[in-house]
Chain A
Amino acid sequence: MKKILIADDEPHVLRVLKMSLEKEGYEVDTCPNGVEALARIERQAPDILITDIQMPLMTGEELCRHIEEYIPQRNFLIFVLTSRTEIEHREWSRKIQNLLFLEKPVSIRNLVEKLDDYFAGASASRRVV
């Protein structure tokens, strides 16, 4: 079973995503901030990380940079949920491989399709900047 880790400070988002993705057959783990997410990744790397940007203690951006720096050999995909559409707000991710942006509001169906595609190996190396 593919493992998905979700980091978001909105409990409602965590709840609905967990419920929906579990129904799709994924094993879902959730945490409310970047620090906890990092701890869990270090313990056991997920197959997918879904993270919000604005979170207390450690933002999604900081989380991604940490992962890039400390786990350079990582092979899991990162989805970043963002409220911003402008390119300059995604500038920081330019050097980070295997990272996709998902713009809010997020469609669960859309997300599930992307996950299915990814795991089917169709878009393993696709990267959106």
Chain B
Amino acid sequence: MKAGNRQIVALDNIRAAIGFDYKNQNYTMKTNQSFGLIMIVATLVVMAVTVYLLFDYQRADRESLARAQGLDLVRLLGGMPWRELMPDHDRRGLLEVLKRGQINPDFAYAAVIDTAGAIQSEATRSGVIVPPVSIPEMPAHWLGQQIVDASSGGNRFIESHAPVFAGDEHRGFVRLGYFEPQFKLNFNQMPFLATLMLPIFLLVPLFYFLLRQEIKPLKQISERFDNLADKAGLRQVELQPSRALSDFMQQFNSYIEATQTRIESLNQEHEDLQMSSKLLTYKNNRIDTILQNFPDAIVVIDEAGEVSYANGKVGRLLGIEHQEIIGKKPREWCQDPEIVPLLTFGDVKSSMQTNQDTIRIRLDDHDEKSLQFSVYPLFVPSDESRILGRLVVVRDVSETHLMRQRQTEFISHISHELKTPLNVMAMYSESLLTEGADDAEYRIEAVNVIHDEVERLSTLINNLLAINQYELGGVVAQRKHVRMHEFLEDTFDNVTQGRGAKGLEFDLDIPREMSMVYIDKDLFRIALNNLLTNAIKYGKPGGKVKMSAQEDESSIEVIVSDDGLGIAEEDQKQIFNKFFRSADDNVRQQAGHGLGLSLARQIVQMHHGDLSLSSELGKGSRFTIKLEKVSTQIMDAAAS
């Protein structure tokens, strides 16, 4: 994790702790910025309301004036004699006087009507027509007021009316109308209004300024918080706050101090945690690497019977990718009826035990494996009576299995090969001791057979010893400079002496002059012996066994051939395999152990040479040893 991220994490913790709502911060800032604007708008509203109230007051004042004045005047005029109200042709009427003398700007009209409602006398403001009106008949209501609509135009009048008498006789009514005052802006009063509004308006910036002064520390705190997001440097806010704020600031600063300490300790803890987390990851990776590279397949099965861990070797041994089996029960991914019971566990008791079993499985046509399943219970460390699951280790024991099999086969072969001649010797010697002793011909046969079997046993034992040494890596060719001609001649004579029983003809054809070779004489003699005894054994009676040699610039070839049984083509591929013997009856008639040719080839290969065969069934076999002269010369140089 990067350092920056770590700080932000710490910061978020602090914000959470102090209830700082990160998301509302922008909103708060915007409110602060438009605060002045809102104040101006509010002020304007206040001013508008003030103006409205002022005008409305004036209107109400005028209306009540019109009502009071109207009522006063009609009562006064009603008390006048009827004729006083009528205008003369040379004098202005009373109503005209009234109109002219009226100072109320809302005055609209004054009229005298008779009881029938006809206008007898009137004085109107210009443009005003006295509206027709019905006056209540009840005398109690003759003096009164009502709102009257103008006959034309949208005006309404506040009309006061009073009865007029001539003596006791009711002659009519006097009506006095005033315009109903409407609300309207009166621009004539602008200077006055401006004078009134100015102080109100001036209050706004003053108030705003004072407020800003008070808000300033809070703003700085807010800015500090903003900075926290970038730098995560918590510092105490150093300001000269007003007295009201100083307590808050003090508390805030001590809170910051505590927070700072907390962040430091959190950071420390975080670093420690990170370290131990890294260490854990490292250890975990190391263990995983070890487990993945473990030579055996490892499967961990949890209490629910599902695979909780498997290493990569599972793919090679069980034929399914290890990622695919995690979280699954063995039944879901394994079809082998022998494996499934090894991975599933019935009762608790059996699952507490360590089990081991080896089975052979066939993954595909060529790949048969021997797998050893070892199941170990995983005990809860604190409670040995409970288990967390089971560890299954699958080991490929094919090699061991094969080796053991080969070993068993080998011992089986050896004991057979050793005991067979022994058996023959035992039977013949026993028969010599008893009934066969009298028959001279039988005695000769028996002795010959026993001699042959001794020879066979001796060769076998020599070959076995050589093979044993060779396989243990114990044979180091004891190379010496050997005169090839003499060596071949000597070996040939040794083998062929006294072997003329089948009427075989022996032919040795080697150049008189041959290069010195650098070989292990004893081992090479065993190889040649095996080739020659085979040629004698499988040669046809009266046939020919020949050993020849030839040399050119680069190599020496030694050829052992016969004109006997020959080797069938299908047997030729296996003829050099250990213990291989042809199933041919003619071959089986002869004593043999299937080791000679295998050993001969190994010995020739030790000398960096090659042993090859060409043969035809019924016509004989021809074995060729080819030695490269270069290799023997290099050996030569190295030795000298």
Decide whether A and B assemble into one complex: yes
Identify the A interface with B (CB < 8 A).
Answer: 9-13, 16-17, 19-20, 23, 32-33, 53-54, 56-57, 81, 83-84, 89, 104-109
Docked Cα-Cα span, A120 to B423, in Å, equals 27
B416 within 8 A of A: yes
Residue-wise, chain B 412-423 has the 8 Å CB interface mask toward A (1 for contact) of 100110111011
Contact A19 B430 (CB under 8 A): no
- Beyond contacts A20-B427, A56-B583: 14 other A-B pairs, Cβ-Cβ < 8 A, are A10-B424, A12-B424, A12-B449, A13-B420, A16-B424, A32-B589, A33-B588, A57-B583, A83-B415, A84-B412, A89-B412, A104-B422, A104-B423, A108-B427
Answer whether A9 and B588 are a contact pair too, CB < 8 Å, given A56-B581, A105-B423.
Answer: yes
B434 within 8 A of A: yes
Which chain A residues border B453 with CB–CB below 8 Å? 12
How would you classify the secondary structure of chain B's contact residues: helix, strand, loop or mixed?
helix
- B430, B434, B435 interface centre (most CB from chain A within 10 Å): B430
Which chain B residues border A109 with CB–CB below 8 Å? 430, 434
B436 within 8 A of A: yes
Answer whether A104 and B583 are a contact pair too, CB < 8 Å, given A12-B424, A13-B424.
Answer: no
Docked Cα-Cα span, A13 to B446, in Å, equals 11
A33 CB to closest chain B CB, in angstroms?
Answer: 8
Docked Cα-Cα span, A75 to B422, in Å, equals 32
- CB within 8 A of A107: which of B415, B425, B430? B430
- CB within 8 A of A19: which of B424, B431, B589? B431
15 pairs from A and B in contact (CB 8 Å cutoff): A9-B588, A16-B424, A16-B431, A16-B446, A32-B588, A53-B416, A83-B412, A83-B416, A83-B420, A84-B412, A89-B412, A104-B420, A104-B422, A104-B426, A105-B422
Select from chain B the residue with minimum beta-carbon distance to A17: B427
B109 within 8 A of A: no
Docked Cα-Cα span, A16 to B453, in Å, equals 14
Which chain B residues border A84 with CB–CB below 8 Å? 412, 415
- CB within 8 A of B426: which of A32, A33, A89, A105? A105
- A13, A83, A106 interface centre (most CB from chain B within 10 Å): A83
Docked Cα-Cα span, A107 to B431, in Å, equals 10
Docked Cα-Cα span, A13 to B423, in Å, equals 8
Q: Which of B443-482 contact A (CB under 8 A)?
A: 446, 449, 453
Select from chain A the residue with minimum beta-carbon distance to B424: A12
Tally the A-B contacts, defined by beta carbons under 8 Å: 72
B168 within 8 A of A: no
- CB within 8 A of B423: which of A10, A33, A57? A10
Interface residues of B, count at CB 8 A: 28
Contact A54 B427 (CB under 8 A): no
Answer whether A19 and B419 are a contact pair too, CB < 8 Å, given A32-B585, A105-B427.
Answer: no
Contact B588 A108 (CB under 8 A): no
Which chain B residues border A17 with CB–CB below 8 Å? 427
Answer whether A106 and B426 are a contact pair too, CB < 8 Å, given A56-B588, A84-B412, A84-B415.
Answer: yes
Which chain B residues border A19 with CB–CB below 8 Å? 431, 436, 442
B518 CB to closest chain A CB, in angstroms?
Answer: 41
B225 within 8 A of A: no
Select from chain A the residue with minimum beta-carbon distance to B585: A32
Contact B416 A54 (CB under 8 A): yes
Select from chain A the residue with minimum beta-carbon distance to B432: A16
Docked Cα-Cα span, A10 to B427, in Å, equals 12
B82 within 8 A of A: no
Contact B428 A12 (CB under 8 A): yes
A64 CB to closest chain B CB, in angstroms?
Answer: 17
A14 CB to closest chain B CB, in angstroms?
Answer: 10
Docked Cα-Cα span, A89 to B495, in Å, equals 38
Which chain B residues border A83 with CB–CB below 8 Å? 412, 415-416, 418-420
Docked Cα-Cα span, A9 to B416, in Å, equals 12
B455 CB to closest chain A CB, in angstroms?
Answer: 13
A109 CB to closest chain B CB, in angstroms?
Answer: 7
Select from chain B the residue with minimum beta-carbon distance to A36: B585
Which chain A residues border B585 with CB–CB below 8 Å? 32-33, 56
Select from chain B the residue with minimum beta-carbon distance to A16: B427
Contact A106 B423 (CB under 8 A): yes
Select from chain B the residue with minimum beta-carbon distance to A107: B430
- CB within 8 A of A105: which of B419, B436, B581, B583? B419
Docked Cα-Cα span, A84 to B435, in Å, equals 29
- B427, B436, B585 interface centre (most CB from chain A within 10 Å): B427
Contact B426 A20 (CB under 8 A): no
Docked Cα-Cα span, A107 to B426, in Å, equals 7
Which chain B residues border A56 with CB–CB below 8 Å? 581, 583, 585, 588
Docked Cα-Cα span, A70 to B426, in Å, equals 35
Which chain A residues border B415 with CB–CB below 8 Å? 83-84
Contact A108 B424 (CB under 8 A): no
Select from chain A the residue with minimum beta-carbon distance to B433: A109
Which chain A residues border B425 with CB–CB below 8 Å? 105
Contact A104 B419 (CB under 8 A): yes
Docked Cα-Cα span, A53 to B420, in Å, equals 11
Which chain B residues border A12 with CB–CB below 8 Å? 424, 427-428, 449, 453
Docked Cα-Cα span, A20 to B427, in Å, equals 9
Which chain A residues border B423 with CB–CB below 8 Å? 10, 13, 81, 104-106
Select from chain B the residue with minimum beta-carbon distance to A108: B430
B181 CB to closest chain A CB, in angstroms?
Answer: 135
Which chain B residues border A20 with CB–CB below 8 Å? 427, 431, 435
Q: Which of B577-598 contact A (CB under 8 A)?
A: 581, 583, 585, 588-589, 591
Select from chain A the residue with minimum beta-carbon distance to B427: A16
Docked Cα-Cα span, A89 to B453, in Å, equals 26
Which chain A residues border B589 with CB–CB below 8 Å? 11, 32
A35 CB to closest chain B CB, in angstroms?
Answer: 10
Docked Cα-Cα span, A23 to B435, in Å, equals 9
Docked Cα-Cα span, A9 to B588, in Å, equals 6
Select from chain B the residue with minimum beta-carbon distance to A54: B416
Which chain A residues border B419 with CB–CB below 8 Å? 83, 104-105
Which chain B residues border A106 with CB–CB below 8 Å? 423, 426-427
Which chain B residues border A16 with CB–CB below 8 Å? 424, 427-428, 431, 446
Which chain B residues border A107 with CB–CB below 8 Å? 426, 430
